[in-house]
Amino acid sequence: MRREPIELPTVRLRALRDDDTDDVVAACNDPLIQRFLPALPRPYTAEHALTWIRDDAPWAAGGASWAIADPASDRLVGTIGVHHVDRDRMQGEIGYWAAPWARGKGLTTEATRATAERAFADGFERLEILVDLANPRSVRIALAAGFRPEGTRRGAARNADGSRRDVVVFARLPGDSAAPVDRLLPDLPGGQLSDGVVTLRPVRPDDAGFYHELFSTPDIVASHVPPVAPDLEELQLRCARAESRWLLGERADLVMVDTATGAPAGDIGLYYQEPMTGQAMIGYCVLPAFRGRGFARRASVLLARWVFADTGIARLIAGTNPANAGSQRVLESAGFLREGYQRRRLPGLAGGRIDDVLWALLPGDLPESS
């Protein structure tokens, strides 16, 4: 690839220089960068930075690397490059990091678009970005730069302890638009939904402890699919990946919060299993201490109103155990209509199977008030 700088109104891509050393050292000792670039030395020193800055390996391999710099000050705010080049297939992988002092400004997204355009102009026919789902910032960058998600590559990355982790592949071809990829599930307006009694907010990585308590409740475990209590490590991974799953349009996981106290009371999830037909499913559970206060009904109505107003979902479904009269009352009061009875649909306790009552909600079925 050509090594010339790339000048844009909002960002500059230029060669790394020795005088970038201090900024590279500061950035590469950032916990977030070290988490997702586990091969970095720890601690990262000026000697490490200079060795990397002066490394010509990307050029020799047919790739390229640049400093992402602020065009006004020329200060380094990140780095980006094309590496893992496959000359036979004319494809490469874009990698980047953003310094802590420059995040949230869209600079890495602009740099990614510019790098892709340079690569395509220089003959590349496919570009990939590999992202750990626990890194939603990187997922947002890939989507905003026009890279489409293509699936999970199992065990494709290595952790600092030698274990392996999955990554999601995002890709662009020369004919693809550089416009942001349309999302099936947008962000919530203002970051949450509330009716003054119940507030719904997206799951965060620090919610794992709450979910461990929630999914240790016996009757909640019995209705879980499968009916097995997940361990804390599994829940930590689920919470860490929740924002990325939302960004990818697969599911939206929300914590049900008691607005008056701020205490987490339960969980409600939207599972977009049928984008082709515009159908999605909801499921919910509430801690025993918060039951009997209408939280599940309120949460279902809040979520459904957002779904029908801000997404392409045209139909919501839910299922209940035939013996779970409480959940059936919740769905009826939220406007869901019973549509069917599905025999032995779900795994039950001790290896058995249980029936499932099918409920559905259309936009006109929603109650006018919470």
- Find the CATH number of the domain harbouring 43: 3.40.630.30
- Report how far apart, in Å, the C-alpha atoms of 9 and of each of 12, 37, 77, 143 are: 8, 29, 15, 21
What is the 8-class DSSP label of residue 254?
E
pLDDT band at 143 (very low <50, low <70, confident <90, very high): very high
**222 and 272 both lie in a single domain:** yes
Per-residue pLDDT band at 141 (split at 50, 70, 90): very high
As given in the structure block, the two tokens for residue 56 are 């010509």
pLDDT at 370 over 70: no
Strands (E) located in the chain: 6-7, 12-14, 64-69, 76-86, 91-98, 126-131, 148-158, 164-172, 193-194, 198-202, 251-258, 264-274, 279-286, 315-320, 337-347, 353-361
| Average pLDDT of span 37-66 | 88
Residues 85 and 231 in one domain: no
Same-domain status, 156 and 255: no
What's the DSSP call for residue 11?
-
pLDDT, mean over the chain: 94
Residue with tokens 């891509």: 13
301/298 Cα distance (integer angstroms): 5
| Structure confidence by residue, pLDDT tens digits, 60-95 | 688 999 999 999 999 999 999 999 999 999 999 999
Q: Are residues 88 and 138 in the same domain?
A: yes
- Asked, for residue 76, whether it belongs to a domain, the answer is yes
Confidence at 223, pLDDT banded by 50, 70, 90 = confident
Mean pLDDT of 332-360: 93
Q: Does residue 157 share a domain with residue 218? A: no
How many structural domains comprise the chain? 2
- Amino acid at site 45: T
Instruction: State mean pLDDT over 21-39.
Output: 95
User: Residue 78: its pLDDT value, please?
Assistant: 97
Q: Is the pLDDT of residue 154 over 80?
A: yes
Residues 271 and 157 in one domain: no
Mean pLDDT of 177-181: 96
User: Do both 156 and 230 map to the same domain?
Assistant: no
Judging by DSSP bridges, how do beta strands 64-69 and 76-86 pair with one another?
antiparallel
Mean pLDDT of 206-216: 96
pLDDT band at 352 (very low <50, low <70, confident <90, very high): confident
The fraction of the chain above a pLDDT of 70, given in percent, is 99
Tokens at 85, concatenated = 């080049």
User: Do residue 54 and residue 111 come from a single domain?
Assistant: yes
Task: Please indicate, yes or no, if residue 182 is contained in any of the structural domains.
Answer: no
Q: Count Cα neighbours of 264 within 13 Å in the Cβ-side half-sphere.
A: 19
Residues 32 and 147 in one domain: yes
pLDDT number for residue 127? 98
- Which range (205-214, 312-321, 344-353) has the least confidence? 344-353
Q: Note down the domain range covering 207.
A: 189-365
Domain final residue, candidates 172, 207, 226: 172
SS3 content of the chain, % helix, strand, coil (to 5): 35, 30, 35
The answer to whether residues 140 and 21 belong to one domain is yes
Query: Using an 8 Å Cβ cutoff, are 149 and 169 in contact?
Result: yes
122 half-sphere exposure, CB direction, 13 A CA radius:
19
Q: How far is residue 200's CA from residue 267's CA, in Å, rounded to a whole number? A: 9
Asked, for residue 178, whether it belongs to a domain, the answer is no
pLDDT bin (cut points 50, 70, 90) of residue 161 is: confident
